[in-house]
Amino acid sequence: MTLNLEEKKSLSKYRLEKAKRLLEDARLLLEKERFESSINRSYYAALTAAKGLLILFGIDPKTHEGVKTMVGKKLIMDGYMSNEYGKWFRGLFFEREDADYADFIVVDKSDTEEAYKNALAFVEKSIEVADRLVKELE
């Protein structure tokens, strides 16, 4: 799929708005003590934000692993985000896998609050970087 600049900007904006909605879902689920589901939504908020940012570079990974790899290669190694954001993204990836698929796992409130906080920071940074990139691309 080859997108022109306007299409990339439009898709990026859509994905970043969706990431904010997913983050709100994570917050609501956290308040209702639905910890596994909150972690799931926190991860998907970060995933969607990452995809919203990567599309501005013409990168559109189709798998979770692909997004995780490109967050490291493009966003972290190229200096758009610090290592801390990569660590948070990877952590959310593994926490979501455990929450969704592991048997007999206990997800507590503090783990869920930490996941939400990290996802919030990742989404906010993604929006900040996207805004900067859009101005540079125009």
75-108: pLDDT as tens digits:
999 999 999 999 999 999 999 999 999 999 999 9
- The first and second tokens of residue 129, run together, are 């970087």
Band of residue 1 on the pLDDT scale cut at 50, 70, 90 = low
Residue 15 has pLDDT above 90, yes or no: yes
Rg (CA), the chain: 15
Amino acid letter for position 30:
L
Report the alpha-carbon distance of residue 12 to residue 77 in Å, rounded. 21
Give the pLDDT of residue 111: 96
**What percent of the chain shows pLDDT beyond 70?**
99
pLDDT single digits (tens) 24-49: 999 999 999 999 999 999 999 999 99
Give the pLDDT of residue 32: 98
Give the pLDDT of residue 137: 86
Give the pLDDT of residue 27: 98
On whether the 5-137 domain is CATH 1.20.120.330, my answer is yes
